[in-house]
Amino acid sequence: METLQQENKMGVQPISSLVWRMSLPMMISMLMQALYNIVDSIFVARISEDALTAVSLVFPYQMLIISVAVGTGVGINSLVARRLGEKRQLEADNAAEHGVFLALCSGLVFFAIFALFTPRLIAVFHPEAQIYEYAVTYLYWVGVPSIIVVLQCVFEKILQATGDTMHSMMSQLTGAIFNIIFDPILIFGWLGFPRLGVAGAAIATVGGQLLGMMIGMFCLLRRNQHLHIRIKGFRPKRKVIGEIYRVGMGSIVMQAIGSVTTFAMNHILIGFTSTAVSVLGAYFKLQSFIFMPVFGLNSGTMPIMAYNYGARNKKRVTDALKYAVVYALIIMCIGSVAFQVFAKQMLLLFSASDYMLQIGVPALRIISWAFPLAALSIIFGTLFQAIGNGEYSLLMSAARQLVIILPVAYLLGRFLGLEAIWYSYPIAECLSLVLSAALLLYTLKKHIAPLGNER
């Protein structure tokens, strides 16, 4: 119990180095996550372009699973970190216990949905027969056992809330490495394993998630010194669940909106050519190399902001915001330049045909103009979630991805053709940044300025 009484590093260490030290493990683990996402699609593309298109059609449903997992984790992360900052230990423990309970409930719901409705979920795209077969197989294998990835994500977010980003990194890293190794083995039948094709890619993904979940659970229950999670005697409380989802629901809906947007964009693009769907799928895999480090920065910075907001330390909250903005802009500017210069080489990783290159190279260059703008919106949203105002992030995401990008993409495609559709991304980010900046100014004035500067 003595360790529990020590001051958490989020309240005392210099912000400039703390943000970097807290975020770097998450950035590394998320880069590995991005790497195995890309490796997955690279190997699938070696089967055929139809297989890559099928995986791209499944992607919105995977995003939906991740949105619930991450959003629930964000709500738990924020609540646990704030309670630790307020020195309310028992309530922090109870918030973590509720997180595990909610992860189990979410996973069981997904199990039922994908066990019963997978063929219908793919049929809505009216794909060709081979694409349909590949997509149903892949979605079934990643969707039915999705309880695993929900639990993995929640364990990671609870660890991050206590400042333990190293063990969280280990959880993601080991799962990613497992997936990278077993992807080609199971897809192509190497080392005596059966040749499973698209199903092999899905099974390797789930196997990596299972390993990551087990490591995250072990580290949380046996290695973490800031929380005591007890299953015996646990009773769910509506008030705690409400507090978790008051922050987390914004993140869930925000990322679920991304799933809806990708779903709708696939519908728009497949009306031109299925190759455009493959381009969008390849883009999402490639951009994860740029966005994942920023999301790692988000994961490392949010508990710092939440802890110090709970401790009413205004300067540490605003300093964390400033450093996160600078780091995010640097990452995104580098990414934008890379997409401008190496768009063709990136698409060739996916065995792109000449036609796919013709469509994809301009698409990647146009969309990447939006990266620096997205950096600011992501970090502003981090502050909103950290202080318990997840609805602001929801508003930003809804404005960008539903109110702006889909109507703009539809109209540009209808009147100007396929290439014009890609301009909807930078247009949406510009308008979203205006809204997020206004919400930031209001938040700083209403919620941050009244804080005291004392610990």
Domain span at residue 215 reads 14-448
Task: Report yes or no: 312 and 452 within 8 Å, Cβ to Cβ.
Answer: yes
How many structural domains comprise the chain?
1
Query: Which of 268, 257, 141, 148 shows the shortest CA–CA distance to 197?
Result: 141
1 pLDDT more than 50 = no
Residue 337 lies in a domain: yes
d(CA 368, CA 284): 11
Please enumerate in sequence order all residues whose Cβ is within 8 A of that of 304, keeping only pairs 6 or more positions apart, or say none. 10, 15, 18, 19, 22, 316, 320
Residue 8 lies in a domain: no
> What is the pLDDT confidence band of residue 455, given thresholds at 50, 70 and 90?
very low
Residue 164 lies in a domain: yes
d(CA 16, CA 18): 6
pLDDT (0 to 100) of residue 365: 95
d(CA 224, CA 89): 14
pLDDT tens sequence across 24-38: 877 876 777 677 677
pLDDT (0 to 100) of residue 93: 84
Instruction: Lowest mean pLDDT of 152-156, 169-173, 297-301, 323-327, name the range.
Output: 169-173
Residue 373 lies in a domain: yes
pTM of the model as a whole: 0.70
Q: What percent of the chain has pLDDT over 70?
A: 95
pLDDT (0 to 100) of residue 12: 65
Residue 454 lies in a domain: no
Query: Which of 305, 438, 437, 421 shows the shortest CA–CA distance to 375?
Result: 437
Residue 389 lies in a domain: yes
